[in-house]
Amino acid sequence: MQKPKHIKYCLSFPALLKKACWNIGTLCFFLLVTTTAFAQTPTKTKEYTVTINDTTEYTLQLALDEAGQSLYYFSNLFTPVCLTGECKPVYINFYWDLLGNYTRFDFPKGAVLTRMDHKPFKPEDYEKLQDILANTHSLLKDVSMEDLVGKGTENLADSVDAKAGATLKTVKNEVIDGAVYTCYTLWHIAHGKVVTEMNRITEFFKTDALLHRFLNDNNHYYQYWAMERVMNAEGTVLADFQSDIQQVIRGKNIFTARFALQKVNKAFFADKARQQWLWETYQSAGYPLQLVILKKMATLSLTNWMTEQAAQQLATINREQSILLLKALEAQPKLSEQTLLTLAGQLTNENCAAEVYRLLEAQRPKNRAVQQKMTHYKQTFHPNDK
């Protein structure tokens, strides 16, 4: 049987176009659906058979570009949605990324979804269905088909309001009224056994080139997956991927940047050049990442250059930052004389003077200028201390 063409389902129309089509009705909507070409039409594919149970198999396809690079997975699905002896055939195409994360759906030409009363889905129903399918934490995950049928109501329409079952009331906001079983069936396909199979396949064709591509991708799932494979449990980064990890740390995603910073071991930032890079990253980073970097610095053996930069920074940062920065300096067994002089200059800074004084005391500086500033601070602010 010939496979249907892949027609893109547009989930994000420009507001004006969407408003205009809304008034015309579903005809305009489906004309848009069936005339918009899929942006990433694969030049070739690889096919895999996924066995769900004794009676159900899916053909999973891996889309490839002209160079043979993997792009995404998709499947042209036919599934019956059955209730009270009546089955509705559903034809739909599902798309996942290379780690099995559901992304979107579209239809073969002419295919639509309907409610149990045979009325076709409205545009807002398709938008809600996308939200339902994209929700990996849906309550549909933990219910069975039987849970959705209230006792004695099996012959009623597929409607939330028509059912008395407690489960239906619980999942009311996670299904489309009149299409409860369609939502349930499709969600379990999108997030079912096929996901495990996609992960297995991707792991099998994993290469260094794929890892580099994943680390530099905007898909954070790809970045996490790749980082787990280029760093060992101790946080040692494979040499060929160290620049990729730096790109992740300087990337736009605060969560993957934080993960990378927290996971890499201190040897990653052992040399002066890498510490200089870290400090430059700190200066250009947003506030949340700056705090992560300061916490990381407390685990490192900082160079004299780095401690001097940090000491100078005390004059320009807020209290939360200064506390973290001083903890990084306190973690150093010995600070350079220049760093101590710079710190002593901050004894007039009300934002951190007390903490700076305690740090200097612990360092026991021999420099006379530092000692004089410490004496002046103590006499000025703590004259009665012995």
The Cα–Cα gap between 161 and 173 comes to 12
For 257-278, what is the mean pLDDT? 96
For residue range 279-294, what is the model confidence (pLDDT) as tens digits?
A: 999 999 999 999 999 9
Better-scored residue on pLDDT, 128 or 178 = 128
pLDDT at 75 over 50: yes
pLDDT at 333 over 60: yes
pLDDT at 148: 72
For 72-98, what is the mean pLDDT? 84
- Those residues whose C-beta lies under 8 Å from the C-beta of residue 139, and which sit 6 or more positions away, are 170, 171, 174
pLDDT at 34 over 50: no
For residue range 93-129, what is the model confidence (pLDDT) as tens digits?
A: 999 999 999 999 999 998 999 887 778 899 999 999 9
pLDDT at 174: 83
For 304-327, what is the mean pLDDT? 95
pLDDT at 165: 55
pLDDT at 31 over 60: no
The Cα–Cα gap between 201 and 216 comes to 21
pLDDT at 36 over 60: no
Pick from 35-49, 74-88, 211-225: least confident: 35-49
Q: What percent of the chain has pLDDT over 70?
A: 80
pLDDT at 73: 96
Q: What percent of the chain has pLDDT over 90?
A: 62
Report for 19-28, 30-39, 329-338: range of highest mean pLDDT? 329-338
Among residues 187, 182, 159, which one has the least CA distance to residue 172?
159
pLDDT at 21: 35
Among residues 15, 21, 34, which one has the least CA distance to residue 123?
21
